Chain A
Amino acid sequence: QKEVEQNSGPLSVPEGAIASLNCTYSDRGSQSFFWYRQYSGKSPELIMSIYSNGDKEDGRFTAQLNKASQYVSLLIRDSQPSDSATYLCAVNRSGGSYIPTFGRGTSLIVHP
Chain B
Amino acid sequence: GAVVSQHPSRVICKSGTSVKIECRSLDFQATTMFWYRQFPKQSLMLMATSNEGSKATYEQGVEKDKFLINHASLTLSTLTVTSAHPEDSSFYICSASPPGAREQFFGPGTRLTVL
Contacts and interface: CB of A to CB of B under 8 A. Distances in A.
A46 B103 contact: yes
A36 B46 CA distance: 15
Given A43-B93, A46-B1, A102 B105 contact: no
A102 B97 CA distance: 16
Interface in A29-53: 32, 34, 36, 41-46, 49, 51
Interface stretch (A13-21, A61-69, A77-85, A92-100): A92-100
B102 A102 contact: no
B107 A43 contact: yes
Contacts of B93: 43-44
Interface residues of A, number: 22
A49 B104 CA distance: 10
B42 to A, nearest CB: 7
Interface of B: 1, 32, 34, 42-44, 46, 49, 93, 97, 102-109, 111
A105 B43 contact: yes
A100 B49 CA distance: 11
A98 B31 CA distance: 12
Interface of A: 32, 34, 36, 41-46, 49, 51, 88, 90, 92, 98-105
B80 to A, nearest CB: 20
B102 A32 contact: yes
Contacts of A42: 108-109
A92 B49 contact: no
A60 B63 CA distance: 42
Nearest to B93: A43
Contacts of B103: 32, 34, 46, 49
B43 A98 contact: no
The 5 tightest CB contacts between A and B, nearest first, are: A104-B43, A43-B109, A43-B106, A102-B44, A32-B102
Contact of B102 (A88, A98, A104, A105): A98
Contacts of A102: 43-44
